Amino acid sequence: MTTEPNAQPTGEQPADQQPQTIDPSRVLTDERGHIVVKDGRVQLKPEPQRTAMRAAGRPATEEPGEPEPTEQSQATEQEPAAGYRLETPSDVPTAAAIKWDSTLDGFSKAASGAGIPQPIAQNLMQSFIDADAALGGYGNGENAYTSEDAESSLRAFWGREAYDGQMRKVWKTVKGLGTHFAEWLDGSGMGDHPAVCVALANWADTKLTKAQAQAELSKIMSDEKSDYFSQDSWRRQPAVVRVKMLGRLAYAEDAPVSHPVARARNAEAARVEQAATKARADARSEAAALVAKLDKGTPAEREATKKRFIELTARL
């Protein structure tokens, strides 16, 4: 589901498909500088590598006006993140987790190589598990789907009308993650696993902040007409998978601060807050003691007590 089936491995093109105007920079020459011609056709250098994607038996189509990869995405392609090994969630049965160990190792390497931060990769892997369970179970540790099987399963899962739009999200995600990740999908066969497609279709949600995820989750759960509450399984199941991802983002514990400057600022902020809390407690205690003295003593003493009481309560 993630590689264009008709893509040619080299830059060679049939004569009836060769462009009338050939880019000179792509003309293939031998060591003596002579143009290479084979079967009457000028041989061309391969085009710059692009992530090829397909839906079962059909070439992928790009959204009109789709933006080019950003500098950030290009940087992650060139500068892979430090390697990591993802952990299988504790709620997955041990027998099932063992079967998926090698696949998880491969995904961990592909994700870190694509520059995906470990928390996002972990959430993406969890989303795959949620989708796989919704599609029928944890599987046998490898992909047994053909691309035709995957398309049939996804059309049933997303609904036939939503299938094309969801697959466009998948292709866009794979394209953005780069060649290394796409090669792992193809080489492992996981590119034809419907649960992988479901997880990749929800890729945009992994970029939400905690506050944004909470807002989106609240919006879904407060709308009784949302897909999450639908009686149609093809509406409800994708929404349930998405809500689980949003929930993990919304209620995730904040990552510990590691930068020395940030730690120092946090420590200072904590010290100031502790001092302020103590000052409020002292003021409250003193004000409580003054209540009994407000109507006692000379007029001057009562006035002084009242003034002090007002000062203390203002701090509270």
- What are the pLDDT digits (tens) for 80-93? 456 899 988 877 78
Residue 152 lies in a domain: yes
What lies within 8 Å, CB to CB, of 79 at 6+ separation is 115
The mean-pLDDT minimum among 5-19, 61-75, 287-301 falls in 61-75
Give the pLDDT of residue 210: 92
Residue 4 lies in a domain: no
Number of domains in the chain: 2
178 and 238: one domain? yes
Round to whole Å and give the CA distance between 306 and 119: 57
218 and 280: one domain? no
Give the pLDDT of residue 279: 81
160 and 264: one domain? no
Whole-angstrom Cα Rg for the chain = 30
172 and 268: one domain? no
Token pair, residue 25, equals 């920079």
Round to whole Å and give the CA distance between 129 and 158: 17
Residue 13 lies in a domain: no
Single residue among 250, 270, 292 that ends a domain in this structure = 250
Residue 137 has pLDDT above 70, yes or no: no
Question: Pick the residue with more confidence: 172 or 98?
Answer: 172
126 and 195: one domain? yes
Single residue among 220, 250, 280 that ends a domain in this structure = 250
Residue 18 has pLDDT above 50, yes or no: no
162 and 201: one domain? yes
User: Do residues 167 and 56 make contact, with C-beta atoms less than 8 angstroms apart?
Assistant: no
Range of the domain at 181: 54-61+80-250
Residue 34 lies in a domain: no
Its sign, for the CA torsion 182, 184, 189, 190, is negative
Give the pLDDT of residue 21: 52
168 and 207: one domain? yes
Residue 69 lies in a domain: no
103 and 243: one domain? yes
Residue 309 lies in a domain: yes
Q: CA of 57: how far to CAs of 4, 60, 132, 150, 234, in Å?
A: 8, 9, 23, 12, 23
Give the pLDDT of residue 276: 75
Instruction: Indicate whether this model's pTM tops 0.75.
Output: no
**Residues 168-185, mean pLDDT to the nearest whole number:** 95
Question: Which stretch, 27-31, 134-138, 226-230, 283-287, has highest mean pLDDT?
Answer: 226-230
Question: Pick the residue with more confidence: 182 or 36?
Answer: 182
101 and 226: one domain? yes
Backbone angles phi, psi at 58, to 5 degrees: -130, 135
- Quote the percentage of the chain above a pLDDT of 90: 39
Residue 288 lies in a domain: yes
85 and 153: one domain? yes
Of the pLDDT bands very low, low, confident and very high (cuts 50, 70, 90), residue 262 is low
Residue 3 has pLDDT above 90, yes or no: no
164 and 277: one domain? no
113 and 150: one domain? yes
Residue 63 has pLDDT above 50, yes or no: no
Single residue among 250, 279, 303 that ends a domain in this structure = 250
Residue 15 lies in a domain: no
